[in-house]
Amino acid sequence: MSDHRGPVHVATLSPGVAHVTWGSEAVTEGWADAVATVRAGVEEALATHARVEARVRADDALGQRVATWSGMRREGVLRGLPLPEGPVDHVLYARLATDAPTDQPEGFRALLNSFLPRKRAIGQMLVRDAAGRVLLCQLTYKRDWDLPGGVVEVNESPQVATSREVLEELALDIPAGRLLLTDWLPPWSGWDDAVTLVFDGGVHDADALVSRVVRQEKEIRGLAFCTPAEVAERCADFTARRVGAALANVAGDGPAYTESGR
């Protein structure tokens, strides 16, 4: 079922779900007028549907602005949708009948939250022994060694995440201490950019600590306390630089921020 409302076209995709599109005539008077027109179409469609969707080409910046400011939240990217000219990525927007109105603070914050940039965060722990060696993990999914830690979950404290990852992967209950280093990693080999936060794990007796380790074998192949020379040998160059920068800041006089360890 479909319905034309001037330049806005609404079609029912499935029970309770509508798809809204608009033509170039919707923006002939400018994007602000287009927003008002599309918003009216969305609100009218929500009177008979629980969900209204729009798919906007990823290269259509104006269309994305119209979709956003008409009150629809960005939900993700639909990759390679087939079109006559070939596959084209589209951004999926949607509004639910139960969403808070965008003229209310909660609704406006949720709208902004749907499209503002998000950055991956990784929490790592710098664990040392009395000789100044650093605890490294040999990982199953890459050849390089790395500091213990892992990806911060959505809405999780990076400090809490770091201790959680060390507990899950090594069965070591070590509180993450002071933040030693913030290291930005640029996009690389299919990964988006990320921020790595290195927390102080303190100084420990190496033999006693290793004796308590229970490895999560799916991710951790081995571990060892390593000298700076062994860190340089076993780690990727940017990881070795990060470890060196974090070590330099243990006393508080090293860099607090680096990019790829520099």
DSSP assignment letter at 100: P
Amino acid at position 118, single letter: R
In this predicted model, what pLDDT tens digit does every residue of 80-124 receive, in sequence order? 999 999 999 999 999 999 999 999 999 999 999 999 999 999 999
Confidence of residue 1 (pLDDT cuts 50, 70, 90): very low
Total-model pTM:
0.85
Distance CA 197, CA 46 (A): 43
Does the domain at 2-115 match CATH 3.40.630.30? Answer given as yes
State yes or no: pLDDT of 26 exceeds 70. Answer: no
Tell me if domain 2-115 and domain 120-259 are identical in fold. no
- Domain borders along the chain are 2-115, 120-259
| Closest to 174 in 3D by CA, of 126, 140, 139 | 126
In single-letter form, the type of residue at position 161 comes to A
Contact 171, 214 (CB under 8 A): yes
Q: pLDDT tens for residues 162-218? A: 999 999 999 999 999 999 999 999 998 888 999 999 999 999 999 999 999 999 999
Looking at domain 120-259, does it have CATH number 3.40.50.300? Answer: no
Model pLDDT for residues 115-164, shown as the tens digit of each residue: 999 999 999 999 999 999 999 999 998 889 999 999 999 999 999 999 99
For residues 89 and 170, what is the distance between their CA atoms, to the nearest angstrom?
A: 41
